[in-house]
Amino acid sequence: MKRSEINNLIKENEEFIKKQGFHLPPFAHFTPVEWKAKDASYDEIRNHMLGWDVTDYGLGDFEKIGLFLFTIRNGSLKEEGCVKTYAEKLLISNEEQIAPMHFHFHKTEDIINRGGGNLVMELYESEEDGSLSQRDVVVSTDGRVRTLPAGTKLVLTPGESITLTPGLYHAFWAEKGSGKVLIGEVSMVNDDLTDNRFYEPIGRFPTIEEDEAPYRLLCTEYPAAPQGE
């Protein structure tokens, strides 16, 4: 992805988030220059990969296969003394823009339609070899346990949510004609480096072509705290 594309997406979605009545934490607005001066008291943001995250899954076609994210909070199961065992994210999906089929090995998460259009979730159980199962899918949607045929495309309207358990394959996108969707994710600790199993082998983070200076740093780009602080 070009840096200019990432910059424009962040600016556009800052406005979309604001229009949906959601307020981001202060670190969302730090500039790259400000980040260079942030001392070690900000290391939770650095180490837990909080903040802006834009991905085309390494496929180079963000409009068709991509996702826009902001990680608000996240703990760690490996960091000694970390008391957070949970995470929270915002995700934004455009109409028919696919977040590709994947599951998590350990994470249970609630995916919530926070506003905008309708969210389509395609669901499959997984087999031990990682293939898509043809067994029925059993899920909870807003406290209601439901049994659905494999491959169901479940539509979540604003305010509705679904609980996704480990090993449950899911792909999602904003429904055509309904507008982009602001999605909430409330989950166990998030680990994008080891806990994702994509059905098709793809990347998680983009390769960036630096055609202009960054407007905001992504969660993978923070500089270390200045020495001696």
Sheet holding 67-74, edge to edge: 51-55, 67-74, 86-93, 181-188, 109-116, 161-164, 137-141, 144-148
pLDDT recorded at residue 174: 98
Whether 227 is covered by a domain: the verdict is: no
Domain that holds residue 127: 3-198
In 3D space, the residue among 122, 119, 172, 111 whose CA is nearest the CA of residue 151 turns out to be 122
Is residue 49 one of the residues assigned to a domain? yes
Q: How many separate domains does the chain show?
A: 1
Instruction: Classify residue 204: in a domain, yes or no.
Output: no
Q: What is the pTM of this model?
A: 0.95
Residue-level pLDDT at 149: 98
16 inside domain? yes
Amino acid 228: pLDDT = 66
**Which CATH number fits the domain that encloses residue 31?**
2.60.120.10
Ranges of residues in the chain whose predicted pLDDT is under 70: 228-229
pLDDT at residue 82, rounded to an integer: 86
Tell me if 58 is assigned to some domain. Answer: yes
167 by Cβ neighbours in 10 Å (0-12 / 13-18 / 19+) ranks as middle
Is 229 within the bounds of a domain? no
Q: Please provide the DSSP assignment of 156-184 as one string.
A: E-TT-EEEE-TTEEEEEEEPTTT--EEEE
Cα separations in angstroms, 95 against 12, 92, 190, 202 = 15, 10, 25, 21
- 34 is a domain residue: yes
| CB count in 10 Å sphere of residue 13 | 20
Q: What pLDDT was estimated at residue 130?
A: 95
Give the per-residue pLDDT at 127: 97
Q: Specify the residue for token string 């760690």.
A: 76
Whether residue 167 lies inside any domain: the answer is yes
33, containing H or E segment: helix 32-36
